[in-house]
């Protein structure tokens, strides 16, 4: 029996010292892992430098990981980039499993991420989505040469505006946003904040795989200098916003924001510092806007490529909303088919496809002994396409979720867009509220066409490298006033 549990899962043959590092694609990791799973099966082992790595690609093994051994797999790897940006693990997302993480998670779930809190931010979502609709309307009325909307930019802008305003309680430059994509100071500042944070979190350091020599090579390559520069830039930006809040009389902060709540938490506890606040805000910024925006863009892409489903979902949104001009969050609760569309888009294109954990101790999964400190990637992209669970897995068919009990809450292991177990996404209700509201209003107000001379079949599904799986090439569509 012991012999059996010691066998190692299959995987590509590596080289001495570096293992499989030379084959590892760190830019589109989930697609690389998907290919490996097609070749080697649902459990693949790799040696990435000094890091033993396991890739899980089936719902049944994911269930073992998250249900039977969740405690063992509740830690995250302490990577150079994430440690720096999280102020050495003072955040939630990149903190190792510990008493600190448990307390922080409880605190944040109660104060920041509860359903009630998410509802309290609804006016912000409503206002930003209305602004988006207004700007698209202008574009729809423009002449043929100017009516193409870059959906990727538009959706990223509305999502980051919502998140920025939810985090800090204010907008920038209300006045000059008469263009789709709002190319103004706010947009540029948020864009910089987002891209810098994303890039730093995802930055590649050899030290993460070769602790002894990696540090030296990273220094030679200038990776540390770049990371330090980003970190100090972001730190200064957050400090400026905190200072503005502390001297609230100098700015008009009308809305209660996440930062207000965090400052209150700081004044209630002497152990809570400004670094804690910045680390949590950093998590929120990186985890919240990008993921929801990616979800909307993938859903729109799939709908445009599937006209019968597009027609059906628009019919539902317009029937339920009636003539009142805006889909609100009471309406979205009743949009069963739209919810099925979102689930189906997340099945095919989960915005955060890799659930990353480190094994805290030895344990046996699928009859195989996993050693402590093994890095485990659960690939929800592959699991969502597993033909054992999904009929015609490559086909976009939201109907499969109508009258189905399969949900995204982390109990149905064949569909895990928000993860599962103790480290599951705490912002699910806010993320879903944002995704559904933006998508519903895009579908309610407009009919969408590809630009003249293009075909829907030409819209590609390539993915951008990064922590969040964005559509690589921007989705550009022509809006026609629909309702
Ligand atoms: C459509 C939107 C979203 C998607 C698809 C998504 C997905 C995910 C996934 C897959 C994880 C990793 C879970 C795991 O390892 O099991 C995660 C973690 C996390 N998400 Fe989200 N997320 C979304 C929106 C949000 C929002 C709006 C927030 C904040 C309000 C948020 C905050 C977080 C945090 C803090 C973590 C780390 C949790 C921990 O490690 O304890 N997410 N998210």
Q: For the purposes of burial, counting CB atoms within 10 Å of the CB of 271, is it exposed (0-12), middle (13-18) or buried (19 or more)?
A: exposed
Q: Is the CB of 422 under 6 A from ligand 1?
A: no
Position in ligand 1 atom list of the atom nearest CA 66: 16
Q: DSSP string covering 286-318, please?
A: HHHHHHHHHHHHHHHHHHHH-HHHHHHHHHHHH
Q: pLDDT tens-digit profile of 210-258?
A: 998 888 898 988 888 988 988 888 899 889 889 988 887 544 555 789 9
Q: Is the CB of 241 under 6 A from ligand 1?
A: no
Cα–Cα separations (whole angstroms), residue 444 to 155, 401, 436: 15, 21, 12
Q: pLDDT tens-digit profile of 5-16?
A: 457 899 999 999
Mutate to test the pocket of ligand 1, among 287, 376, 409 (most ligand atoms within 8 A of CB): 287
On whether 221 is known to bind a ligand per the annotation, the reply is no
Query: What CATH number does residue 234 fall under?
Result: 1.10.630.10
Domain extent, residue 354, equals: 2-481
371-401 burial, b at 16+ Cβ within 10 Å, e below that, comes to eeebbbbbbbbbbbbbeebbeeeeebbbebb
Q: Of how many residues is the chain composed?
A: 483
Question: How far apart are the C-alpha atoms of 400 and 458, rounded to whole Å?
Answer: 26
Shortest-distance Cα residue to atom 30 of ligand 1 = 427
* Spatial contact of 245 and 253, defined as CB atoms under 8 Å apart: yes
Q: Is the CB of 424 under 6 A from ligand 1?
A: yes
The yes/no answer to whether this complex scores an ipTM above 0.95 is: yes
Residue partners of 247: CB distance under 8 A and separation at least 6: none
Q: pLDDT tens-digit profile of 60-94?
A: 999 999 999 999 999 999 999 989 989 999 999 99
Q: pLDDT tens-digit profile of 121-176?
A: 999 999 999 999 999 999 888 877 778 999 999 999 899 889 989 998 877 654 44
Q: Structurally, how many domains does the chain consist of?
A: 1
pLDDT band at 353 (very low <50, low <70, confident <90, very high): very high
Question: How far apart are the C-alpha atoms of 107 and 90, rounded to whole Å?
Answer: 13
The answer to whether residue 290 scores a pLDDT higher than 90 is no
Position in ligand 1 atom list of the atom nearest CA 419: 16
Q: Is the CB of 430 under 6 A from ligand 1?
A: yes
Shortest-distance Cα residue to atom 10 of ligand 1 = 418
CA of 71 to the centre of ligand 1 (A): 18
CA of 372 to the centre of ligand 1 (A): 25
Instruction: Of 403, 274, 267, give the one whose Cα is nearest residue 339.
Output: 403
What's this model's pTM, rounded to 2 decimal places? 0.93
């Amino acid at each position: 029996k012991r012999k059996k549990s010691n066998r190692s899962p299959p995987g590509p043959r590596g080289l001495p010292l570096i293992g499989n590092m030379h084959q590892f694609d760190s830019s589109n990791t989930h697609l690389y892992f998907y290919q490996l799973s097609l070749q080697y099966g649902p459990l693949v082992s790799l040696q990435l430098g000094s890091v033993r790595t396991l890739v899980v690609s089936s719902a049944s093994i994911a269930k073992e990981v998250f249900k039977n051994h969740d405690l063992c797999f509740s830690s995250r790897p302490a990577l150079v980039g994430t440690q720096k940006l999280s102020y050495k693990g003072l955040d939630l997302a990149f903190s190792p499993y510990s008493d600190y993480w448990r307390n922080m998670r409880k605190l944040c779930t109660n104060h920041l991420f509860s359903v009630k809190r998410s509802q309290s931010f609804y006016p912000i979502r409503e206002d930003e989505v209305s602004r988006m609709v207004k700007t698209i309307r202008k574009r729809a009325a423009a002449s043929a040469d100017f009516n193409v909307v870059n959906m990727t930019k538009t959706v990223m802008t509305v999502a980051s505006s919502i998140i920025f305003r939810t985090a800090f309680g204010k907008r920038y430059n209300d006045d000059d946003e008469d263009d789709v994509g709002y190319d103004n100071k706010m947009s540029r500042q948020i864009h910089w904040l987002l891209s810098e944070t994303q890039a730093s979190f995802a930055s590649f350091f050899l030290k993460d795989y070769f602790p002894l020599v990696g540090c030296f090579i990273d220094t030679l390559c200038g990776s540390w200098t770049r990371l330090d520069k980003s970190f100090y830039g972001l730190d200064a930006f957050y400090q400026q916003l905190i200072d503005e809040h502390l001297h609230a009389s100098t700015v008009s902060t009308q809305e209660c924001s996440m930062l207000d709540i965090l400052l209150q938490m700081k004044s209630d506890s002497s152990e809570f510092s400004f670094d804690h606040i910045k680390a949590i805000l950093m998590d929120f910024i990186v985890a919240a806007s990008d993921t929801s925006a990616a979800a909307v863009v993938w859903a729109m892409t799939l709908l445009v490529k599937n006209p019968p489903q597009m027609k059906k979902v628009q019919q539902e949104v317009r029937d339920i909303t009636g003539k009142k001009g805006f889909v609100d969050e009471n309406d979205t609760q009743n949009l069963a088919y739209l919810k099925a569309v979102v689930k189906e888009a997340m099945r095919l294109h989960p915005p955060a496809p890799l659930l990353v954990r480190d094994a805290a101790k030895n344990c046996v999964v699928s009859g195989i002994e996993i050693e402590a400190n093994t890095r485990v990637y659960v690939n929800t992209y592959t699991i969502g396409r597993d033909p054992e669970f999904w009929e015609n897995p490559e086909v976009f068919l939201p109907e499969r979720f109508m009258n189905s009990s399969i949900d995204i809450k982390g109990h149905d292991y064949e569909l895990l867009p928000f993860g599962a177990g103790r480290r599951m996404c705490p912002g699910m209700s806010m993320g879903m509220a944002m995704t559904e509201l933006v998508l519903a209003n895009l579908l309610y107000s407009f009919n969408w066409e590809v630009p003249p001379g293009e075909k829907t079949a030409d819209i590609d599904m390539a993915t951008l490298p990064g922590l969040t799986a964005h559509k690589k090439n921007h989705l550009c569509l022509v809006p026609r006033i629909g309702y």
